[in-house]
């Protein structure tokens, strides 16, 4: 080989070696950036806390925001935790004092305070009604990642179907029908019975809570939730599954399984509203007065008037849905 060819070969080898090392360096740097981004997103916690501050009538829109947040959390290995609005602390203070990480709010109805100007990050509008997600700048290094993820999520062909589950809302349009179908099977009931209960209890609002301490879609109390192995009452799936387990518990412990389905449902609904102990006492009283304790119409006069109305309202709504679907 001539000296010229040897020189050219050496130069070519050097250039190839240099380019290969540069490629490796860029790959390592890129991989490091990707890891850093995920590490930054999870730097302060593996839990993403969210609060949804919308009017009470916007029940299904609350569920809509929560479900999108849940999907974002799952895609980034977060555990989503819903933080309810605190009557003693403003929602803006909840953000600044780090009680919550993301606040869904209608900035037309509740404008951002001037004192927080320049301190917040905000997504583009989530709905056409002015609903956005707001975060503290010093606690959301993943803001741009979230905006990018939202853009891709809304471009997904399945998004329009997802959106139609929640918006618009009405008693006849429940976002949780597929969940209700699944949990009703072990009970042996028509899933629309559970839907009627859900509407009566919360109007499909996953963040509903009562002065008596009942929480979520099916308005379960903490004590009942604990017995039914429910960890997060605000989570729609946990709440509904817990309520279904409680219905099954009432069926067994009130010894209703031998009754016709209609009577079984009447008594379970009554016990869900007034408590198992109270309805069992009402059945005993009916027996003492010569009535049939296995027929709700015989026992109902001894139950609280609000419980009688509760059972009748749910039954009527269920029958209306059955009739309209025929």
Helix (H, G, I), strand (E, B), or coil: what is residue 82?
A: strand
Q: Supply the pLDDT for residue 232.
A: 94
pLDDT tens string 218-233:
999 999 999 999 999 9
What's the rounded Cα separation, in Å, for the pair 82 and 180? 21
What's the rounded Cα separation, in Å, for the pair 288 and 26? 85
pLDDT over 90 at 11, yes or no:
no
Six-digit token string for 132? 């956005």
Six-digit token string for 215? 């929480």
Q: Supply the pLDDT for residue 33.
A: 45
pLDDT tens string 242-291:
999 999 999 999 999 999 999 999 999 999 999 999 999 999 999 999 99
Q: Supply the pLDDT for residue 237.
A: 96
DSSP, residue by residue, 279-312: HHHHHHHHHHTT--TT-HHHHGGGS-HHHHHHHH
* Correct CATH for 47-166 of 2.40.50.100, 3.40.190.10, 3.40.50.970, 3.90.1640.10: 3.40.190.10
pLDDT tens string 149-186:
999 999 999 999 999 888 876 788 899 999 999 999 99
Which fold is adopted by the domain 179-325?
Lysozyme (1.10.530)
What's the rounded Cα separation, in Å, for the pair 41 and 142? 5
C-alpha angle 215/179/238, rounded to 5°?
A: 35
Arithmetic mean of pLDDT over the chain = 88
Closest CA to 314 of 204, 206, 201: 201
Closest CA to 119 of 133, 91, 145, 140: 140
Q: Supply the pLDDT for residue 128.
A: 86
Closest CA to 97 of 126, 124, 119: 119
**Residue 302 or residue 41, greater confidence:** 302
Measure Cα distances from 158 to 153, 154, 155, 161, 266 in Å: 9, 8, 8, 5, 39
Residue 275 gets the label, from left (phi > 0), alpha (psi -120 to 50) or beta, of: left
pLDDT over 60 at 112, yes or no:
yes
- pLDDT tier for residue 36 given thresholds of 50, 70 and 90: very low
Query: Angle, nearest 10°, between helix axes 191-202 and 305-325?
Result: 130
What's the rounded Cα separation, in Å, for the pair 261 and 263? 5
pLDDT over 60 at 27, yes or no:
no
For residues 39-73, b (16+ Cβ closer than 10 Å) or e, as one string?
Answer: eebeeeeeebbbbbbbeeebbbbbbbbbbbbbebb
What's the rounded Cα separation, in Å, for the pair 233 and 214? 9
C-alpha angle 37/143/49, rounded to 5°?
A: 95
Closest CA to 67 of 136, 143, 167: 167
Q: Supply the pLDDT for residue 35.
A: 41
Peptide bond between residue 166 and the one before it cis (omega within 30 degrees of 0): no
pLDDT tens string 119-135:
999 999 998 889 999 99
The structural domains of the chain, with segments of one domain joined by +, span 47-166, 179-325
Running DSSP on this structure, what letter comes out for residue 170? Answer: B
* Strand ranges, E, within the chain: 47-53, 79-82, 102-106, 120-122, 131-136, 214-215, 220-221
């Amino acid at each position: 080989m001539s000296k010229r060819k040897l020189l050219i070969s050496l130069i070519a080898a050097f250039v190839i070696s240099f380019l290969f090392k540069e490629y490796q360096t860029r790959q390592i740097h890129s991989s490091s950036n990707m890891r850093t981004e995920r590490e930054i997103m999870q730097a302060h916690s593996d839990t993403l806390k969210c609060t949804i501050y919308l009017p009470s009538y916007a029940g299904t829109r609350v569920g809509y925001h929560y479900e999108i947040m849940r999907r974002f959390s799952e895609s980034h290995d977060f555990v989503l935790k819903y933080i309810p609005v605190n009557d003693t602390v403003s929602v803006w203070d909840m953000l600044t004092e780090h009680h919550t990480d993301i606040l869904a709010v209608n900035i037309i109805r509740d404008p951002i305070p001037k004192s927080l100007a320049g301190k917040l990050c905000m997504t583009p509008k989530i709905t056409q009604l002015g609903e956005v997600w707001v975060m503290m700048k010093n606690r959301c290094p993943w803001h741009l990642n979230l905006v990018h993820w939202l853009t891709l999520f809304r471009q997904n062909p399945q998004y329009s179907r997802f959106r139609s589950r929640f918006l618009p809302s009405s008693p006849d349009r429940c976002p949780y029908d597929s969940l209700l179908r699944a949990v009703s099977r072990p009970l042996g009931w028509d899933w629309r019975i559970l839907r009627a209960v859900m509407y009566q209890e919360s109007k499909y609002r996953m963040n509903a809570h009562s002065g008596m301490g009942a929480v979520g879609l099916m308005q379960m109390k903490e004590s009942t939730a604990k017995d039914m192995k429910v960890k997060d009452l605000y989570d729609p799936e946990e709440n509904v599954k817990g309520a279904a387990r409680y219905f099954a518990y009432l069926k067994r412990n009130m010894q209703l399984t031998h009754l016709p389905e209609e009577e079984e449902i009447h008594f379970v609904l009554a016990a869900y509203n007034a408590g198992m102990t109270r309805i069992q006492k009402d059945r005993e009283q009916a027996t003492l007065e010569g009535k049939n304790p296995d027929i709700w119409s015989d026992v109902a006069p001894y139950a609280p008037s609000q419980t009688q109305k509760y059972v009748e309202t749910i039954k009527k709504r269920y029958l209306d849905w059955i009739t309209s679907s025929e």
